[in-house]
């Protein structure tokens, strides 16, 4: 073999090893289990290690029932994850049904992956650019064009920034009727006026549309009530996963917060000792040599997955230490590109390592993606804080408010400013809606 041929073959082998490692790193725990089953059926040189059987009590120690899951998803996170996966698969499958170029289709696929569990796109285009690898060469115009295309997908209302936009997108797709213009006006200008008291609602709406007759307003309210507030609703998985097995543990010690890998999250694989002992030291056929190399490649990919996930978790613990002590309010802005720079890997590697991997700590079980939060900068002081932390403070303010005189969005703006968080009233409304918190007049209880 010539030197050039040798180098070409060596490069191809390295590329295959790298591709295999990246695939394994990207997979969820369930996907990895399926992949390992394929390896075992295809390569006799691999076998599962003998592991002790666990009792139900031991099993519950390193798996997480839905009530222990932490983060914005709250108690229903597991069912949301299952539903989110099916919902996104439904959207991904639609990409080929729309007249999109390869570049446009790729951008739509990226945006679909950023949708939240309700089917909204709450991240700004700028935030999405900050959380995607630089080597993808994306720009704001490309993503904005892709977003316009995604909003035409089914179900209507998908990829809206908030409830108002989702309802508007749904109404705009309806056929022409007398109630449609009134319904659009109500959603755009007076959605907060709607509550459970129909007569009072009509009186408030009439102030916004004095020239519209009561029958049309009634029809408009009925039309709005028929819409779906959450585009992803109804996409729950038929076989939801009852448990999540975390990939890493985070525990407090005398030296601070420490990270350890959950060995049970990785399929216990090893070389088959019996076959290896029977192998001659020389004279192996090319087929068996390939099987040996393939088996070692698989084992190396598993080890690399373990090492990368642990390194990323250690990075998270180092930079988000206050979260483990104080909760959401302690989160600071953290970007994947910064993690990639510090860890010395590609940004896409960080994204793969965080994909469907979970961290267990005294506060619950959290996806690694949860700890990468967008930054918000105050206009006056230039101080930077995390969007998730701002939402946590907002939620805390509303939890502690006087239920007879709940805080308006303008009041919340002032209270947040006293705590060093400067955001607009529109941003407060957006955060409140993303947390599922109704407007002040709907939170008010009778004296």
- Examine residue 155 and say whether the peptide bond preceding it is cis (omega within 30 degrees of 0): yes
Around 380, how many Cα atoms within 13 Å sit in the side-chain half-sphere? 7
- pLDDT for the residue 353: 92
pLDDT score for 238: 35
In the beta sheet, which residues pair with residue 253? 256
Which range has highest mean pLDDT (79-83, 313-317, 326-330)?
313-317
CA-nearest of 434, 267, 257, 268 to 359 is: 257
Residues 445, 404 contacting (CB under 8 angstroms)? yes
Q: pTM to 2 decimals?
A: 0.54
The residue behind tokens 């180092």 is 318
Q: Which residue has the higher pLDDT, 393 or 59?
A: 393
Rounded (5°) CA angle 259-80-240: 90
List 367's β-bridge partners, or say none. 358
Residues whose CB falls within 8 Å of the CB of residue 265, separated by 6 or more in sequence, listed in order: 29, 245, 246, 247
Range in 126-135, 289-298, 321-330 with the lowest mean pLDDT: 126-135
Of the candidate ranges 64-68, 94-98, 214-218, 302-306, the one whose mean pLDDT is the lowest: 64-68
The DSSP bridge pattern shows strands 358-361 and 248-253 to be parallel
Can you give the pLDDT at residue 8? 40
Q: Which helix (H) or strand (E) holds 140?
A: helix 140-150
Residues paired with residue 271 on neighbouring β-strands, in sequence order? 46
Burial of 133 per CB tally in 10 Å (0-12, 13-18, 19+):
middle
Residue 235 pLDDT > 80: no
Task: List, in order of start, the domains of the chain with CATH numbers.
Answer: 87-226 (no CATH), 248-373 (no CATH), 377-442 (1.10.10.60)
The neighbour count for residue 218, using CB atoms within 10 Å, is 15
Does residue 231 contact residue 156 with C-beta atoms inside 8 Å? Answer: yes
Alpha-carbon torsion 397, 402, 408, 410, what sign? negative
| Angstrom distance (rounded) from CA 292 to CA 290 | 5
DSSP state of 70: -
Residue in the structure block whose two tokens are 């002790």: 52
Give the dihedral of Cα atoms 270, 273, 277, 279; nearest 10 deg: -40
Query: Please, which residues have CB within 8 angstroms of residue 420's CB and are 6 or more apart in sequence?
Result: 378, 381, 383, 385
Strand extents, DSSP E, 168-326: 248-253, 256-261, 269-271
pLDDT digits (tens, 9 = 90+) for 268-300: 888 887 777 676 666 677 887 888 888 888 999
Between the two ends of the chain, the Cα-to-Cα distance in Å is 89
**280-319: b (≥16 Cβ within 10 Å) or e:** eeeeeeeeeeebbebbebbeebbebbbebbbbbbbbbbeb
Least confident of 91-100, 131-140, 349-358: 131-140
Would you place residue 95 in the very low, low, confident or very high pLDDT band (cuts 50, 70, 90)?
confident
Beta bridge partners of 258: 251
Encode pLDDT of 250-266 as tens digits.
998 888 899 999 998 89
């Amino acid at each position: 073999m010539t030197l050039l041929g040798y180098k070409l073959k060596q490069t191809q082998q390295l590329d295959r090893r790298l591709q295999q490692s990246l695939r394994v790193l990207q997979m969820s725990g369930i996907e990895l289990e399926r992949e390992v089953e394929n390896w075992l059926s295809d390569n006799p040189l691999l076998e599962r290690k003998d592991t002790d059987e666990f009792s139900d009590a031991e099993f519950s120690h390193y798996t997480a029932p839905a009530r222990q899951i932490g983060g914005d998803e709250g108690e229903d996170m597991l069912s949301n994850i299952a539903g989110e996966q099916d919902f996104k698969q439904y959207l991904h499958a639609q990409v080929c049904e729309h007249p999109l170029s390869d570049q446009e289709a790729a951008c739509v696929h990226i945006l679909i992956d950023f949708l939240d569990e309700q089917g909204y796109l709450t991240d700004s285009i700028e935030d999405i650019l900050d959380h995607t690898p630089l080597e993808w060469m994306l720009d704001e115009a490309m993503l904005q064009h892709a977003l316009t295309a995604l909003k035409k997908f089914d179900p209507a209302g998908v990829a809206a920034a908030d409830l108002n936009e989702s309802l508007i997108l749904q109404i705009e797709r309806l056929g022409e009727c007398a109630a449609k213009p009134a319904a659009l006006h109500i959603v755009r200008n007076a959605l907060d006026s709607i509550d459970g008291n129909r007569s009072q609602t009509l009186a408030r709406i009439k102030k916004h549309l004095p020239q519209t007759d009561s029958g049309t307003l009634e029809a408009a309210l009925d039309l709005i009530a028929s819409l779906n507030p959450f585009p992803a609703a109804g996409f729950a998985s038929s076989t939801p996963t009852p448990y999540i097995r975390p990939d890493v543990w985070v525990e407090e010690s005398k030296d601070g917060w420490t990270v350890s890998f959950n060995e049970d999250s990785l399929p216990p694989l090893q070389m088959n000792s019996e076959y290896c002992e029977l192998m001659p030291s020389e004279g192996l056929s090319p087929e068996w040599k390939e099987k040996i190399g393939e088996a070692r490649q698989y084992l190396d990919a598993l080890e690399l997955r373990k090492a990368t996930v642990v390194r990323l978790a250690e990075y998270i613990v180092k930079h988000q230490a206050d979260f483990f002590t104080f909760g959401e309010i302690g989160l600071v802005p953290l970007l994947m590109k910064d993690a990639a720079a510090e860890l010395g890997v590609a940004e896409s590697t960080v994204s793969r390592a965080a994909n469907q991997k979970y961290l267990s700590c005294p506060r619950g079980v959290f996806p690694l993606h949860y700890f990468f939060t967008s930054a918000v900068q105050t206009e006056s002081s230039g101080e930077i804080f995390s969007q998730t932390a701002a939402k946590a403070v907002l939620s805390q303010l509303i939890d502690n408010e006087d239920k007879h005189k709940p805080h308006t969005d303008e009041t919340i703006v002032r209270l947040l400013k006293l705590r060093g968080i400067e955001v607009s009233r529109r941003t407060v409304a957006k955060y409140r809606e993303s947390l599922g918190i109704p407007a002040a007049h709907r939170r008010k209880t009778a004296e």
